[in-house]
Copies of this chain bind each other. A is one copy, B any other.
Amino acid sequence: MDDTTLLMIPGPTTVPKRVLDAMSQPIINHRGAEYGEFLGETTAMMSEVFQTDNDSYLLTGSGTSAMETAVANIVEKGDKVINIVSGKFGERLQQLTEVFGGESIEITVPWGQAVDPAEVKRVVEENDDAKAVTLVHNESSTAVVNPIKEVGDIMKDYDTLFVVDTVSSLAGDTVKVDDFGLDICLTGSQKCIAAPPGMAAITIGDDAWNVIDNVDSPTYYLNLKKMKKSGDKVPPQTPYTPNVSMTYAMNEALSMVLEEGLDARIKRHHTGAEATRQAAKALGLELFAREGDYSNTLTAIKMPEGVTDDQLRGTMRNKYNIELAGGQDHLKGNIFRIGHMGITGLPELAATFTCLEMTLKEFGFDFDAGAGVAALEDVYLKNA
């Protein structure tokens, strides 16, 4: 670790030097064959990470641009859409539904909990004219993972599309687009893939294309029909000028994912998550999410009484150069969040919990010094 701030937030995450170096290569013509072939290689790796035989598309934009792409290309005025809302990003898919004229049927899930698949089945059954169900796999605002496999299994019995946001889970938790029956799946560059922010990806199944082809979408930059038309060229292109440097970064970051192996990488994320939870508990801290619903890429911890968000995260930042995330919306000040995604692992968690222990001591908390780190060690030894 060098003197740069340690990013322990749920994205953007620390970017490996290999990826940063890739990004500083000279720009090439985005309409030339060399770029086209490189793009094709990169989107093929993207599909491999999505675990799908479908084509994937890279978007020059952040995760939200992919969320808008997913919604804007299927929802028309008056369309019913079932939005599962269990946090800020679930809300965002609902807002997008409404922006594009859809009628949102909300499945409300308390923040900190995962959705119950039986509830999804009930609502889908009741609304068999709904065009889509939207679900955020890993709700980073609450550090909860939603059961996309179980919901996917239910959705296989209905014509309703299943749209899944895996921005903060893909390459860090299990996402099998084809096996799980995800009709549309989207992600971002700056979370578990560990590239810089600024690129997003989306993959579309045949049933979704049938819908998209019949929608006159009020979007141009994020138009999937245009992306497909350009992507189908040999070699593939993008409809508008892509971020060439970010394509280099994604190619390198996805290569690193596949070199590590998807299963190994996901196991590493699970270990880091379990270690973080045990370390927090060993310091007497309480987790925010309901037991069993814990995210595998970040952890939300209740702000302990006796210290404010400014004091805790401020000390971690100013004294120890470690950046933690706060709560969002009504959770602001009530929780703090530790991201353990991408290349973040034991060294970073060790530094984080050592400094968290020192910070808590400074504010008069009582626990055995080293208890958090001891819990980390225990989990890592068991999972070695």
Residues of A bordering B, CB below 8 Å:
4-5, 7, 9, 11-15, 20-21, 23-32, 60-65, 67-68, 95-96, 99-101, 188, 190, 196-199, 218-222, 239-246, 249, 317, 323, 325
Contact = CB atoms under 8 A, between A and B. Distances in A.
B99 A29 contact: no
Contacts of A64: 220-221, 239-241
A32 B241 contact: no
A103 to B, nearest CB: 15
A21 B20 contact: no
Contact of A220 (B12, B96, B101, B244): B96
B240 A62 contact: yes
A198 B26 contact: no
Nearest to A223: B99
A95 B220 contact: yes
A29 B13 CA distance: 9
B29 A24 contact: no
Contacts of A317: 32
Nearest to A15: B27
Contacts of A221: 61-62, 64-65, 67-68, 222
Given A24-B24, A68-B220, A241-B11, A197 B30 contact: yes
A323 B32 contact: yes
18 contacts: A5-B28, A7-B28, A13-B27, A15-B27, A21-B24, A23-B23, A27-B190, A60-B61, A63-B240, A64-B220, A64-B241, A188-B241, A197-B245, A198-B242, A198-B244, A199-B243, A243-B243, A246-B246
A255 to B, nearest CB: 17
Given A14-B26, A221-B222, A244 B323 contact: no
Candidate in A21, A29, A243, A249 with the most chain B CB atoms within 10 angstroms: A243
Contacts of A63: 240-241
A50 B221 CA distance: 24
A96 B218 CA distance: 9
A323 B26 CA distance: 14
Nearest to A25: B20
Contact of A61 (B30, B32, B61): B61
A241 B20 CA distance: 18
B197 A243 contact: yes
B27 A220 contact: no
Candidate in A190, A240, A242 with the most chain B CB atoms within 10 angstroms: A240
Nearest to A101: B218
Contacts of A196: 27, 243-245
A65 B65 CA distance: 10
Given A4-B26, A27-B190, 9 more contacts: A7-B27, A21-B24, A100-B218, A196-B245, A197-B242, A197-B244, A198-B245, A198-B246, A199-B243
Contact of A20 (B14, B24, B65, B220): B24
